[in-house]
Structure 1
């Protein structure tokens, strides 16, 4: 039974690097609160053999199969490049 006052947690379907396209099976992991993910993003998850990098293939509203959370983003979030101040010929 679900609690109506508890917000649903988003779920990410992930694919392990060693899986081939034809044999790929996805595994569901909970997306931590505040972590924005999209298909193609790389994240770190805990497995029997330790942490490993995986690819997000789908974001779902819910899942009966998810039991573990995603640990963190593997690829850094895009950062806006810093622009150097423009030097004017009037700068002394």
Structure 2
């Protein structure tokens, strides 16, 4: 999966049920990844709340750090969509 596909899949999880544990956990991870100076403070035990498929999305999000894709135009567009989906919840 490329960055756009990963972010799109995360947005789909959020859109399908914005108040689910999976949606909120993935959304929290997306938000956390925007703060490298804070050490990406994400509570890793929250991964236990995710299904194997959703954990794979989380791992792919974290891998975007290595690819220096956090904050890209694709990231920003997807993040704006996720913000709106959570707000509308």
User: Normalising by the residue count of structure 1, what TM-score does the alignment of the two structures yield?
Assistant: 0.24
Of Structure 1 and Structure 2, which has the larger fraction of its residues in helix?
A: 2
Greater gyration radius: 1
TM-score when normalising by structure 2: 0.24
